[in-house]
Chain A
Amino acid sequence: DSGVTQTPKHLITATGQRVTLRCSPRSGDLSVYWYQQSLDQGLQFLIQYYNGEERAKGNILERFSAQQFPDLHSELNLSSLELGDSALYFCASSVTSLDEQFFGPGTRLTVL
């Protein structure tokens, strides 16, 4: 158990819908990262927050957005969902941007 929690574990929804994925970092970690893992794209970095502020952006679509709240938990919002958004979404956290990241168990999103 990495100490990073993600909810829900599984999510099944339809195209065009909007969903919110939630992540609670390890106690003491200020950085939160979101990743998307799909069969064709591999593991892709989406976005990073540090202590509530956006720190870095990767291959995140405009339909996706994220935020980190004062209590340091983070949410990833996915809207206008398409079939290709079906993937495993990981959250990871670290103390600072320089430290190793610890991953949550992931949320498996299925868009039908």
Chain B
Amino acid sequence: AQKITQTQPGMFVQEKEAVTLDCTYDTSDQSYGLFWYKQPSSGEMIFLIYQGSYDEQNATEGRYSLNFQKARKSANLVISASQLGDSAMYFCAMRYSSASKIIFGSGTRLSIRP
């Protein structure tokens, strides 16, 4: 069965430190995509980064990078030089079954300390 697991319900990090948010997935599909979204307290869902299963390089978008380890089925989000504005819920998601369905993890609440 397809599954996304985020094992860290909450994390506290000091401002300017790097932080890694864990995400593991399970799928029997060969072709799939992995996404990370940020949900601040205001409620909107903000797309951060995408990694395709056939992409050989780890995706990067500014301060965000995705540590994709296919054999381990993990897709961790790394935020470098964290900022107070990074405090939010972060969701990992997977698209599978020929891009027809998407599932989300339970999320990690990240709090940045000044």
A and B: interacting chains? yes
**B-contact 0/1 string along A3-41, CB 8 Å cutoff:** 000000000000000000000000000000100000000
Q: A42-B106, A42-B107, A98-B33 are in contact. Are A56 and B45 (CB under 8 A)?
A: no
| B100 close to A (CB within 8 Å) | yes
Please state if B44 and A56 are interface contacts (CB–CB under 8 Å): no
Count B-side interface residues using an 8 Å CB cutoff.
20
* Shortest Cβ distance from residue B47 to the other chain A in the assembled complex, whole angstroms: 5
Q: A42-B106, A42-B107, A43-B91 are in contact. Are A100 and B47 (CB under 8 A)?
A: yes
Among residues of B, the one whose C-beta sits closest to the C-beta of A48 is B100
The complex places the Cα of A45 from the Cα of B97 at a distance, in Å, of 14
The main secondary structure of chain A at its interface with chain B is: strand
Please state if B100 and A56 are interface contacts (CB–CB under 8 Å): yes
Please state if B35 and A56 are interface contacts (CB–CB under 8 Å): no
CB within 8 Å of A: which B51-110 residues: 91, 95, 97, 99-104, 106-107
Please state if B102 and A106 are interface contacts (CB–CB under 8 Å): no
| A65 close to B (CB within 8 Å) | no
**A-contact 0/1 string along B18-60, CB 8 Å cutoff:** 0000000000000001010100000111110010000000000
